[in-house]
Structure 1
Amino acid sequence: MTDPAAKPPRKQKANAYPWYSPRIWHGMRFRPWMRLLARHHFALHPLRIGMAVLVTPFTVFNSLAYRLQLALHGEKIAAATPHTPMVFIVGHWRSGTTFLHELMSLDEAYTSPSTIQCFGPCQFLLIGDFVSRWFNFIMPSTRPMDNMKVGWSKPQEDEFALLALGAPSPYYRMAFPDHPAEGTEFLDMEGIDEADLAKWRETLDQFVRMITVQRDKPIILKSPTHTGRIGLLSEMYPDAKFIHIARNPLEVFASTERLWQTMDEIQSFQHPKNPQYRQYIFDCFDRMYGGYFRDVDKLGPDRLVETRYEDIVADPVGELEKIYAALGLGDFEQVRPQMEAATAESRSFQRNKHQMEDDLAAEIYRRWSQYFERYGYAADGTLVEEKPKAE
């Protein structure tokens, strides 16, 4: 039987993304940008050379702005002490991490990295407020892979900031998707060179301190890439809290396939000929959840809570109240009205629909059986009567 992971994905049209809208590479510094191109021997598709040419002057500006930012704010950044508790929202791509992040960002007792902070970490302390106020017109109205609203002030994934600052990241794969994927070891933090690991830790901590300088509150961070890093993150931030969100694995797989296809259309400097999305999804899952299941039982119930997307959609306020109580995140009653208003509005949100071949669904169940069983999903992705308790 043909391996369903090797079958080419169905071509799906991404939502419109204007050519002038920011790409993740626009936030990089010049030296990491040049290193990225050199690692891939400048294998730019002729139709993407223009995009690379446009990115380059931004990286020069970012390098200069970064030096100025450190000159003006370096002492404050070094002296900043992140507030506790820091909160990390983790889970596979397309499992609802963004939805949960946006709900929790309504709590004014906390702050979350914004799009301008994550896409412009080299200069947001200098010009972030100016860009957020006057340059919203260059942002698309919704994300390219789904229908969620975007904007400079909206909560954003901190992995983009780490990449822009030069830390090793699996997201570098998007630049040259026809080449062997790089950075997957940073999904479980296994087999990493000590210098690269030190660079990664230093970059994350610096970004956290930069946010603290600008917004003196506990921080809620969200990134699927942190899922297999919970052990390391709990060591770096001993008081940190973690929220893991699961979702119907068949929906997660199909939606992630669309995600990578869409991101490659927008972010890539190639026109992928053989990206092997399905095998890449399986490989990333093995890394992410190998790391997650390795360390999850080391964190007590007062530090880590597991929830499901379906439970949050069914009763968002009730599920968030349980999360707040379990992790001791503060008085939920103070934020209940904002949560109720936001979730009432979100009920009209239109989610993408996906179809899947039977042989691929069977292969996902075979490879991801631990995930299905731990979070209470049947082989067809439907919920069992009650979510099993974690062992």
Structure 2
Amino acid sequence: MAKPLFVVGKHRSGTTWLGNLLLDHPSIAGLHHERHRGIHESAFFSHVDGRYGDLDVFENYVEFAAVMARSDYFRLAGASFEDLMELYPANYADVFRVIMDRVAEQRDARYWIEKSPMHTGCVRKISDYYTNAQFIGIWRDPVDVAFSWIKRQDERHASQFGRLLALARVTIDKYVVDAHMLDVRSSQPEQLYVVRYEDLVDDKRKVLNGIYGFLDLSQVEVRSGYEANTSYTDSQTSGSDEGANKTKRFKRSSHEEKFIQCLYNWGLPLLSARALIHLKRSLRQNHKSSLPSWFFKLLNESLDEDGSEKSQETDGSALD
């Protein structure tokens, strides 16, 4: 049985790039697609786990299976509604593991990999579900993360106050995510290995060899086969590594950079964990209880055996 491997870290920290690089190792299997810029995130333990209630209740399991069978992640895994129904009765974690074990078995891989930034806060829960799971976390400078995020959200033309509020929101979220990740590393160093984005850019081979040593894997030369998921380039070249691109930054002021640095390094450390979580929730905007729209990007398409897409007349509305 393959071992679970999770890539975690704050959004815009290089999780996709790192996941794509690890996915290229012959002993690691996972789900990927061009529409998702390579490795696809499931957000299963942050958005799905517990969502449909007790899965021992047949009606709950049917609803769970119907939605998951239409999601991109399970479609790419080749898991149909009928396949999922054959697993009943089963809990959330068991279903996910069975599906991912099948993915690893098809490639004869030692690990199956999943990458979801939202899982950073679920590391302890996931490690309780899968006692042999291992995690690779990635940390990036908070200033670069904040501006990468704000450019991605197209907040460049907001008012000055609106920009500062957006920068504060993402910085607070990053601080909470980083604090949780580092706390888990200190208590479970055998399960969580953390790398720096900047180190990956400077010396990709050295960082990856460190990860391979942690995972007890052979050292191989890998390269992401998908275009960079970066906010700092005007154009992206297919097959290029994210860190290999010479980034062209959009305008950002020095006082905004200092604001982020002071908030992350001086202001937030003065608050308690409870206060940080409350502050993070109060600053979050447009929070929705529904599943993210990217769960169903491929809903109007089907995948040929060679992985190419073709149109299909299917209702694109989400089931829940």
Mapped pair 1:155 → 2:73:
no
Question: Which residue among 111, 132, 135 is the counterpart of 1:239?
Answer: 132
- 1:94–1:371 CA distance, 2 compared to 1 (3 A): farther
8 A contact 1:228–1:289 mirrored in 2: no
**Cα offsets for 1:227-259 (capped at 9, x unmatched):** 222222222222222222122221111001223
Q: How does 1:123-138 map to 2 (within 5 A)?
A: none
TM superposition shift of 1:297? 0.9
The 2-side partners of 1:248 and 1:89 are apart by: 18
- Could you tell me how far 1:292 is from its partner in structure 2? 2.5
**Percent same amino acid among aligned pairs?**
21
Q: Aligned runs of 1:1-391 on 2, under 5 Å? A: 83-84=2-3, 86-115=4-33, 150-151=34-35, 154-159=38-43, 163=47, 167=51, 202-203=91-92, 205-216=94-105, 217=109, 218-261=111-154, 277-300=166-189, 302-325=190-213, 327-332=214-219, 335-336=220-221, 338-339=222-223, 345-346=240-241, 349=245, 351-369=247-265
Q: CA deviation at 1:285?
A: 2.6
Does structure 1 conserve the Cα–Cα contact (< 8 Å) formed by 2:168 and 2:260?
no
CA contact under 8 A between 2:138 and 2:194: conserved in structure 1?
yes
Q: CA deviation at 1:350?
A: 5.2
Distance 1:296 1:372, change over 3 A: farther
The amino acid that maps onto 2:197 is Y
> Offset at 1:341?
9.7
Output the CA distance in 1 between the equivalents of 2:31 and 2:146.
27
Shift of 1:306: 1.9
Quick one: distance in 1 between partners of 2:172 and 2:181?
14
Distance 2:97 2:25 in 1: 18
Q: Return closer, same or farther for 1:231/1:354 CA change in 2, 3 Å cut-off.
A: farther
Gaps of 5+ in 1: 1-81, 116-149, 169-200, 263-273, 374-391
Deviations 1:84-106 (A, max 9, x none): 2x222111111111111111100
> By how many angstroms is 1:165 displaced?
8.4
Q: Structure 2: how far apart are the matches of 1:351 and 1:213?
A: 39
SS class of match (2:41): coil
Amino acid at match of 2:24: L
TM-score, length-scaled by structure 1: 0.45
Unmatched tracts of structure 2, length 5 or more = 53-89, 156-161, 229-238, 270-320
For normalisation by structure 2, the TM-score amounts to: 0.54
Q: Which amino acid aligns with 1:289?
A: D
Secondary structure of 1:306's counterpart equals: strand
Counterpart of 2:290 in structure 1 is none
- What is the CA distance between 1:159 and its match in structure 2? 1.5
- Over 3 Å counting, the alpha-carbon distance change for 1:290 and 1:152 in structure 2 is closer
Q: How many residues align?
A: 209
Q: Any idea what the Cα deviations from partners look like across 1:158-177, whole Å, max 9, x if unmatched?
A: 22796478849xxxxxxxxx
Distance 1:96 1:331 in 2: 23
CA gap 1:98/1:368 in 2 versus in 1, 3 angstroms: same
Distance change in 2, residues 1:243/1:152 (3 Å): closer
* Amino acid corresponding to residue 95 of structure 1 in structure 2: S
Cα distance per residue 1:32-64 (max 9 Å; x no partner): xxxxxxxxxxxxxxxxxxxxxxxxxxxxxxxxx
Structure 1 counterpart of 2:216, one-letter code:
L
Distance change (3 Å), C-alpha of 1:366 and 1:348: closer
Q: Which has the higher strand share?
A: 2
Secondary structure, aligned partner of 1:239: coil
